Amino acid sequence: MEPIITAFLAVHIVSGTGALFCGALPIFAPKRKGFHTRWGKCFAACMWGVLGSAIVLTLISRNAYFAALTTSATLGCFSGLRALRRKRPDVRQDDRATGLDWAVTIAALGVALLLAGLQVQGHVKGTPAVVWSLLAGAFVVGGYDLLRFAFPAAWPFFPRLWFYEHLVKILTSYAAVLSAFSGSIAFRFLPDPWKQLWAPIAVQILILGMILWYARQNRRRASAAAGG
């Protein structure tokens, strides 16, 4: 079993390092086909390497804490990428959630519920605050996604919602990679929980700024198109 664990651990570390560098490039690039999509695909491929190896390692080690971490990260990354295929569900039937979206989200919520049950019974090793935070994050993202799948044209839908959903969810996935890198490798000298949380804080500052920036840009474009 040891060589298998070492092999998947190597995949996990190499993919994680790749995601860390590939993921930084499309963030500031113009959001159109070309550089952004090319490096975005590299980031997605690395993330699947990270999450795939994490799933295998979780199953081997039967560690519920890693399972919570993997479930939450997989759901965020999957949902952020799938948002690109659900741009206009109000006009195109093909842009509505498919069986795959429903299956992955319900499965992730099922795993999260199971882990919550195990945590309540005291069977989970790891800091309870971190495990419950991860599970709560999975419930919020999964619950939001299920509502969007069931009522795709209801609030908060508007034609550019996919853009913001993609932005928030993918940047949150990137924050998870940065946080893991910081907590376990680069910034171990910082006190807890700063060494794990500075990355999500920095990324959240970026998300807030980017939402404001793009909302302003879209309003300017809309008023220019209307001749105002």
Partner 1 sequence: MRLHAALQRRWAAAAVAFALIVTIVAAVLTLASGRHAAGVPARWGELVVWQALVYGSWVPIGAVVDRLVRRSGLTARLALLLYACGLPLAAAHAAFATGLDVLFSPAARAPEAAGHWAARMPIDLLVYLAVATFVVAVRAQQLAAEAADRAAGLAAALDAARAAAARASPGAAEPPAHLFVSVGSRRMVVDVAEVEWFASAGNYVVVNWEEREGLIRETLSALEQRLDPAVFARSHRSTIVNLARVREAASLADGSWRLVMSGGAELVVSRTYRDGVLERLRR
Query: What is the torsional sign of CA 65, 71, 77, 83?
Result: negative
Q: Which of residues 11 and 207 has its CB atom nearest to partner 1 in the complex?
A: 207
Residue 123 interacting with partner 1 (CB under 8 A): no
Window 76-115: residues binding partner 1 (CB under 8 A): 90-91, 93
Give the one residue of 119, 173, 179, 182 binding partner 1; rule: CB under 8 A: 119
**Rounded alpha-carbon distances, angstroms, from residue 178 to 21, 85, 203:** 10, 26, 9
**Residue of the chain from 5, 9, 59, 140 that contacts partner 1 (CB under 8 A):** 140
Scanning 13-21, 24-32, 102-110, 161-169 for contacts with partner 1 by CB under 8 A, the matching segment is: 161-169
Residue at 144: amino acid letter: Y
Closest by CA to 110, choosing from 162, 155, 74, is 74
Q: 39 near 26, Cβ under 8 Å?
A: yes
| Alpha-carbon separation of residue 171 from 12, 20, 131 (angstroms) | 19, 11, 21
Q: How far is the CB of 52 from partner 1 (least distance, A)?
A: 27
Choice between 48 and 149, CB closer to partner 1: 149
Q: Which residue, 2 or 32, has its beta carbon nearer to partner 1? A: 32
